Amino acid sequence: MHKTTIARALGYLARYKVEFVLSLAMALAYVVASLYIPLVAGEAIDSLVTGGVDFDMLLSCLMRIFVTALVCFISQYALSRLNNRMAYRISHDMRNDAFDKISRLPFSYLDSHRQGDVVARVISDVDQVSDGLLLGFSQFFSAVLTILMTLYYLFSLDYLIALVVILVSPLSLVVATFIAKKTHRYFRQTAEKRSLQTDITDEFITDTAEVLCYNLQASCQKTFDEVNEQWAASSLKGTFYSSLVNPATRAVNSIVYAAAALCGGLLAVAGRLSVGGLVSALSYANQYTKPFNEITGVVTELQNALVCASRIFSLLDEKEVVDDGDKTLADDALSVSFSDVCFSYVKGQDLIKGFSLDIDKGRHVAIVGPTGAGKSTIINLLMRYYETDSGRILIDGTDIRDISLASLRLSFGSVLQDSFILSASVRDNITMGRDFSDEQVMAACRRAHVHDIIMRLEKGYDTMLDDDEGLLSAGERQLISIARCMLDLPNLLILDEATSNIDTRTEGLIQAAFNEMTAGRTSFVVAHRLSTIRNADIILVMRDGDIVEAGSHDELIARGGFYSELYSSQFASVS
C-alpha cells in the first residue's frame, strides 16, 4: 500500500524533473562545500601549531573557507527557492486533480461522504503531502549524501576513527525507526479527526439559524468538544512519539561523539593524527550524526504525508460517472420513455420498482405523491445524476446512456426547490457562463418578476452575491433561478417545487410565465401543492416508488382514489 502511494506521489514530482534535478545539484553542492570547511579548518590549525605560523598557508585556508561558505549560501538559497516552487506547484496540481475529480463523481459519492471530509482532502491533506513528499525527499537525499561524504573525509583522516563512528551510529537509526512506527497510527487518527472537525464546523456555520432556533448551541458545543478532545489526544500522542526521536537520537549522537573524541585523542597522542586532523575528525563525527536526526524526522513527516496521500488517492480512485455516449439530442420537442426502471439508493432497499411510462412530445407532466414516494428520484434518474439499477430511460427513442452528458443536461432547464447561488455577480448568476446580452438578461428577469428586486440592490446586476450572505431571501433566490431558466428555454423543463418559497401573489404571476414556458415543450413538474398542477396534461401519482394512478386532474378526482384523497386533504374545509 505504502509503495503504491509513494510511487503515485512521486509521479507528481516527476512533472518537475528539471527543477528536481537542479534541487539535487544544489543539495550536492551545499553538502560538499559545508563538509569541505572542517578539512580546511584543520589545515589552518596545523599551520598555527607546527613550528611557527605559516601566514601564506593560513591566508590560503581563510580564502578557501570564505569561497566555500559563499558557495554554501548560494546553493542553500537556490535549494530553498526550488523546493518551495515545486511544493507549491505540486499542491496546485493535486488540488486541480482532486477538484476536477469531484466534478466527475456521481451524486451517490457526495451524498454518502461528509462534506468536511471531502474539503479536508482537497485542502489540508494536499498541503501535508506536498510538504512531506518534497521536503522529506530533499532532506533524505541531503542526509544520505552527508553521511557518505563525512565517511569519505573520516577515512581520509584515519580509518580507525571512521570505524568507531560507523559501529556506534546505527543505534540512532534503530531507536528512531522503532519510535516512528508508533507515530503512524496516531497521525492517521489525527487526519480523520481533522476532517470530522471541519465537517462539524461547516455544518454549524451553514445551519446557524436552525441551531439557534432549537437552542442546540450546548449540544453542538458538546459534540465539537468531544471531537476536539479526540483530535487533541491523537495529535498529542503522535507529537509525543515523534518528539522522542530527537532526544533519543541526540543521546546516541553524544555517545558517538564521545567515542570519536576518545579514539581521536589516543590517535593524536600516538602521533597518527595531527591536532588539526583531530579537530576536523571531531567536527565530522558531530556532523555525521546530524543526518540521522534528519532521517528520523523525515520518516515522521513521511508517515503523516503517506496517510494524507492515501486519503487523496482514494478520492481520485473513486468510480466516475461513465460518459461514453456520443449522440446528441435534437433542438426540438422531445419524447421521454421509462422502460421497466428499477432503482435504490441503498442496496437491498428498493425505491422504484418496474417503473414504465411513455410521454409524448410537448406534454406537460406533473408528478405528485407523499414525501419519499420517489418524485425527485425520477428527475435525478432522468438527468443521470444517478444511474438506474436496471431498465432504460429513452429520450426521442435514444437511451440516455448513449447520449453525451453535456448534450443531455444542456437539453434540460430546471428550477429546483433549493436555489443555488454562485459567489458572483447577479448577472453571472443568471447567465451561468452562457453568452447573453444585458437586454436578454433583463427581459428574462422581468418575466420572472425579479428585475425590480435586482435594481433595488446597491449595484443592480453587478451586485456580488454569496449564498451565505443573506443578501437575498429564499424566495428572491428562487426567482433568480427561474430567471436563469427563462433566459434560454431548452426543450425539456423540470420544475421541482419551483415556487415553494414565493408568496401567493407572485406565484400567480410566475405560474402564468411557466404556462408560457411549457407551451410546446415536454415538461415535468414535481409538486406538493396540487393547485399548481391542475392544468397538467397528465398527473402521475406515486406511492412507494410506483405509479398508482395516472390521468388528468378531473379524471383522477372522478375516480376517488389516492389522488383524490391527497387533493381533499389539502383543500378540505376546517370545521
**Cα 187 → chain centroid:** 19
> Is residue 436 within 8 Å of 487, Cβ to Cβ?
yes
29 and 87 assigned to the same domain:
yes
Distance CA 5, CA 317 (A): 12
Instruction: Output the nine-digit C-alpha cell for 383.
Output: 438527468
Does 397 score more than 70 pLDDT? yes
- Give 67's pLDDT tier (boundaries 50, 70, 90): very high
309 and 334 assigned to the same domain:
no
Instruction: Output the nine-digit C-alpha cell for 452.
Output: 425590480
301 and 211 assigned to the same domain:
yes
In a domain, 42, yes or no: yes
Domain boundary among 288, 316, 344: 316
Residue 467 has phi, psi (to 5 degrees) of -60, -20
338 and 244 assigned to the same domain:
no
Residue at grid coordinates 562545500: 33
In a domain, 181, yes or no: yes
293 and 373 assigned to the same domain:
no
- Give 198's pLDDT tier (boundaries 50, 70, 90): confident
366 and 304 assigned to the same domain:
no
CATH, residue 388: 3.40.50.300
In a domain, 416, yes or no: no
Percent of the chain with pLDDT over 70: 93
Stretch 472-482: mean pLDDT: 82
Domain boundary among 316, 346, 376: 316
63 and 164 assigned to the same domain:
yes
186 and 334 assigned to the same domain:
no
Stretch 441-456: mean pLDDT: 89
Which domain range does residue 540 map to?
A: 324-411+524-575
Buried b (16+ CB within 10 A) or exposed e, 28-61: bbbbbbbbbbbbbbbbbbbbeeeeeebeeebeeb
Strands 364-368 and 352-359: unpaired
Domain boundary among 277, 292, 316: 316
283 and 341 assigned to the same domain:
no
In a domain, 116, yes or no: yes
- Give 287's pLDDT tier (boundaries 50, 70, 90): confident
Distance CA 190, CA 229 (A): 11
309 and 372 assigned to the same domain:
no
Stretch 533-554: mean pLDDT: 84
- Give 478's pLDDT tier (boundaries 50, 70, 90): confident
In a domain, 127, yes or no: yes
How many Å from the N-terminal Cα to the C-terminal Cα in the chain? Answer: 69
303 and 343 assigned to the same domain:
no
Q: Is the dihedral of CA 545, 547, 549, 552 positive or negative?
A: positive
The pTM (predicted TM-score) of the whole model is: 0.67
CATH, residue 102: 1.20.1560.10
In a domain, 449, yes or no: no
48 and 26 assigned to the same domain:
yes
Domain count, the chain: 2
In a domain, 472, yes or no: no
**Cα 425 → chain centroid:** 25
In a domain, 473, yes or no: no
Q: Which residue, among 157, 138, 141, has the nearest Cα to 284 in the 3D structure?
A: 157
Q: Which of 179-193, 304-318, 486-500 is least confident?
A: 179-193
Residue at grid coordinates 534541487: 23
